[in-house]
């Protein structure tokens, strides 16, 4: 639910994506409109939904079916989920066309990116169109260790976007400013991290989504 709160929507909303997945609500009835875009919110109910989802018929496609109710209204739908390989994440991979992998330039994060690559390969039996758009480097500090890690990433076979997000205090500060319902773009529009996200977006769109075009 981090993206929910990051868009200025209270995570304690009574209805969310969990209710849609289990058939208690329709996507259109749960959508919340904000100045930054529409949100299909999540809340703590989704965290414990794994076992329940696994007991449902064709559970891998529940999110895909939920999003199909509103897909024609949008050019892009962003699905935010953790890297944990659980039922909710599998449902997200079943609904997605492509994946953007945020990567910090450190060992555990790089290892996690490799794991996601394996997960995507396995998921193609369920969702043949799924592909990795690329890795987005975050919290870049420009140290020698990070430069070596970045080089290792770029030769690992995982495509990486040229745009990278620098480590800036504005990013956590924007997340602690939720009462103002501001994204990073609204909190610090001229910050280097904000510019980097704009650069990434332009690069992503100019290449038709994936790094490798």
Handedness of CA 108, 109, 114, 118 (dihedral sign): positive
Q: What is the pLDDT of residue 97?
A: 94
In the predicted structure, residue 210 carries a pLDDT above the cut 70: no
Query: What does the pLDDT average to over 63-76?
Result: 94
CB 17 within 8 A of CB 66: yes
What is the tens place of the pLDDT at every residue in 125-140?
889 999 989 889 888 8
What is the tens place of the pLDDT at every residue in 20-40?
988 899 999 999 998 889 999
Structure tokens belonging to residue 195: 């510019």
Q: What is the pLDDT of residue 174?
A: 75
Q: What is the pLDDT of residue 184?
A: 81
- Rounded CA separation 19/17 (Å): 5
Query: What does the pLDDT average to over 180-199?
Result: 83
Q: What is the pLDDT of residue 211?
A: 60
In the predicted structure, residue 75 carries a pLDDT above the cut 50: yes
Which of 20, 136, 9, 114 lies closest to 69, judged by CA? 20
CB 105 within 8 A of CB 137: yes
Between 54-58, 92-96, 115-119, the lowest mean confidence (pLDDT) is in 115-119
Which of 100, 202, 90, 198 lies closest to 158, judged by CA? 100
Task: Indicate the average pLDDT of the chain.
Answer: 83
What is the tens place of the pLDDT at every residue in 128-174?
999 989 889 888 887 777 777 777 776 777 788 989 999 887 777 77
Q: Kindly indicate the confidence band of residue 110, based on its pLDDT and cuts at 50, 70 and 90.
A: low
Q: What percent of the chain has pLDDT over 70?
A: 88
Query: What does the pLDDT average to over 68-86?
Result: 88
Provide the phi-psi class of 15: left if phi over 0, else alpha when psi is between -120 and 50, else beta.
beta
Q: What is the pLDDT of residue 113?
A: 72
Q: What is the dihedral of CA 65, 71, 76, 81, to 10 degrees?
A: -20
Q: What is the pLDDT of residue 179?
A: 46
The SS3 call for residue 211 is: coil
User: CA-based angle 181:196:113, to the nearest 5?
Assistant: 95
- Residue length, the chain? 213
Instruction: Tell whether pTM > 0.75.
Output: yes
14 CA to centre of own chain: 23
The upper half-sphere exposure of residue 172, i.e. CA atoms within 13 Å in the direction of its Cβ, equals 4
Q: What percent of the chain has pLDDT over 90?
A: 31
Q: Kindly indicate the confidence band of residue 81, based on its pLDDT and cuts at 50, 70 and 90.
A: confident
């Amino acid at each position: 639910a981090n993206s929910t709160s990051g868009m200025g929507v209270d995570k304690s909303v009574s209805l969310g994506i969990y209710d849609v997945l289990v058939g208690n609500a329709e996507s259109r009835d749960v959508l919340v409109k904000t100045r930054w875009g529409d949100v299909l919110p999540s809340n703590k109910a989704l965290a414990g939904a794994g076992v329940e989802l696994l007991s449902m018929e064709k559970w891998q496609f529940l999110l895909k079916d939920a999003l199909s109710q509103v897909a024609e209204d949008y050019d892009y739908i962003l699905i935010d989920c953790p890297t944990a390989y659980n039922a909710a994440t599998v449902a997200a991979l079943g609904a997605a066309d492509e994946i953007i992998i945020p990567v910090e330039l450190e060992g555990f994060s790089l290892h996690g990116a490799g794991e996601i690559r394996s997960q995507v390969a396995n998921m193609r039996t369920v969702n043949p169109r799924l592909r990795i758009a690329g890795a987005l480097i975050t919290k870049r500090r420009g140290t020698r260790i990070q430069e070596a890690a970045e080089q290792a990433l770029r030769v690992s076979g995982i495509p990486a976007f040229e745009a990278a997000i620098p480590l800036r205090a504005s990013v956590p500060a924007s997340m602690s400013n939720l009462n103002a319902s501001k994204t990073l773009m609204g909190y610090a529009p001229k910050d280097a991290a904000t510019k980097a996200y704009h650069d990434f977006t332009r690069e992503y769109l100019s290449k038709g989504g994936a790094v490798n075009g």
